[in-house]
Amino acid sequence: MTVFLRNCISVIFASLALFAALLAIVFILGAFSGITQDTIQNARAISKSFSFASGFVERFKSEHGRLPYENEFSEWAKTQSGGVHGVQNMEIMYFQQHFPPEVIKKFGSPPINSYIIEYWRGEWFEYYASWVDASTLELDVKKLYFLGLPPFIVSLALFVLSVLFGVIARYIWL
């Protein structure tokens, strides 16, 4: 193998070592930032609001023999407190042809008199599906981690990989 080719391969491995080290730093900083815990905390607040809103809908249905109209739900929601993730920021959907396909895919076909409560999270919608009494919220912190592993484990693995790539780069360079 020529010296030039060996040096090129060495530079590639050195670049991989640097990239892995930078990723390790990003994962460590992400762990200390608390973003994942904030996401879970917000999801729990939204989940409470979904429960509160669906409780209203079910009480209304038992008292009036029908689901509340959208404007009735909105009027009730406006009178409630709950902060950023409260019911005042939620909407209700009744028409199955307007139900989001991802909700149908996740929870199956809804029976008659089903409804969805929708909440805009700022980047995507979260949904509560009445027919399964479940939502699209992710409350398992492990599912928010890369490969389901805590950031410290991923950072450690990336650091080890970085050292390994660095040793290989140095070995090839010689």
How big is the CA angle at 35 (ends 153 and 87), to the nearest 5 degrees?
135
Instruction: Note down the domain range covering 74.
Output: 1-174
How many domains would you assign to the chain? Answer: 1
pTM for this structure? 0.67
Tell me if 146 sits within 8 A of 24, measured CB to CB.
Answer: no
pLDDT tens, residue by residue, 44-53? 899 999 999 9
Angle between helices 151-173 and 3-33 (to 10 degrees): 160
Mean pLDDT (the chain) is: 85
